[in-house]
Structure 1
Amino acid sequence: MQTSKRSSRLLDALDCSPWGASSGRSRRAHGAARTLYTPEERRRRDVSPWTMVQGVLAPFQFAVFLVSLALVTRFLLTGEGLEVATWSVVIKTVVLYAIMVTGSIWEKEVFGRWLFARAFFWEDVFSMLVLALHTAYLYVIWAGIGDGRAQMMLALAAYAAYVFNAAQFLLKLRAARRDEAGWNDRGHPAQGAAG
């Protein structure tokens, strides 16, 4: 446990990039850790119906992704099932749009910004790349650009970006849970944490 704390402090000291906060490590300013949510943001998060919507859509999207990935991989390995693989990517993209729109509404309710709130800035930046790749796939299908294999390779690129982005959000969820452990029953920061 002590080694873990030492290594976290060392990483915080050496990490001068903005990615440390995205991976769940807190940057220290004047000796105090910055929590993911302020007390008011935490309250708004807890009462927002969009929190539940995001909690349902995220695992649903991941399940759709796994099915689609299997179908895309099957096509790339066997050359069979292009139509069903194509539809699976289209469905995955529609679900992505749904989670992006509802996530933006959630971010506005909790942080007062539609996108790029401090707490989720880098996740939102990478989400734009994920959205762009999925949208490019839809355009390629609509315009009939390339053959099935090239289209499925674009889908795989979009899926690789999605996996990275999902990992960012999972790490942020881990950081939020760690922050929660630092709060006592009255909703005040535990000793040594800053709000």
Structure 2
Amino acid sequence: MKGAGQKHGQTAALYTAEERQRRDASVWTIVQGVLAPLQFVVFLVSLALVLRTLSTGEGTFPADASIVVKTLVLYTIMITGAIWEKVVFGRWLFAPAFFWEDVFSMLVLALHSLYLVMLLAGLGSAEQRLMVALAGYAAYLVNAGQFLWKLRMARLQGSADLQAVSA
């Protein structure tokens, strides 16, 4: 049996059979499946508020509030994601199958956390804070793309495994 990250035909297997079983049985998979689209909706609303504030100079409070909400949702999805990795892979973070996604997640967390420090400590101007938030949002989009790619790879692996079993 090939382990996660090892070659499976021409592509690297994302999950071993045991990991896939733990993933499919875990409530944390459902939690991630609910939080990820919720975070994206919060991101879209916040992005609109931030861009409005940067373009008009008005609405700083709603923009700041939306970034705080986005950051809290991010922290929640990161904590539950670490629990999910522990359940599925036996590691809190940086499981080989999701190593680079976790590395980039740390950048996303760092930028969102920097924004919070700036807001709470009164550091920088509102525009500077919002630019840090936009950098965090850009990193979030890259990270979300990484996870969507892995979701697609997992589905393709599942389809290939089903075809191999039925052949």
State yes or no: 1:156 paired with 2:131. Answer: no
In 2, the alpha carbon distance for the partners of 1:189 and 1:125 equals 34
Q: Spell out, residue by residue over 1:101-124, the C-alpha distance to the aligned partner (whole angstroms, 9 max, x if none).
A: 000000000000000001100000
Identity value in percent: 61
1:53 corresponds to which residue?
A: 31
2:162 corresponds to which residue?
A: 184
1:175 corresponds to which residue?
A: 153
Instruction: Tell me which amino acid in the other structure corresponds to 1:49.
Output: V
Correspondence 1:53-72 to 2 at 5 A: 53-72=31-50
In 1, the alpha carbon distance for the partners of 2:26 and 2:6 equals 28
Distance 1:190 1:151, change over 3 A: farther
1:110 pairs with one of 65, 88, 98: 88
Unaligned 5+ residue runs, structure 1? 1-25
Question: 4+ residue stretches of structure 1 with deviation over 2 A?
Answer: 26-29, 31-34, 188-191
State yes or no: 1:93 paired with 2:68. Answer: no
**For the Cα contact (< 8 Å) 1:182–1:190, is it kept in 2?**
no
In 2, the alpha carbon distance for the partners of 1:42 and 1:61 equals 25
Unaligned 5+ residue runs, structure 2? none
Q: Indicate the SS of the match to 1:94.
A: helix
Distance 1:39 1:82, change over 3 A: same
Aligned Cα root-mean-square deviation (Å): 1.8
Distance 1:84 1:53, change over 3 A: same
1:11 corresponds to which residue?
A: none
1:44 corresponds to which residue?
A: 22
Q: Spell out, residue by residue over 1:123-180, the C-alpha distance to the aligned partner (whole angstroms, 9 max, x if none).
A: 0000000000000000000110111111111110010000000000001111111101
2:111 corresponds to which residue?
A: 133
Count of residues paired in the alignment? 163
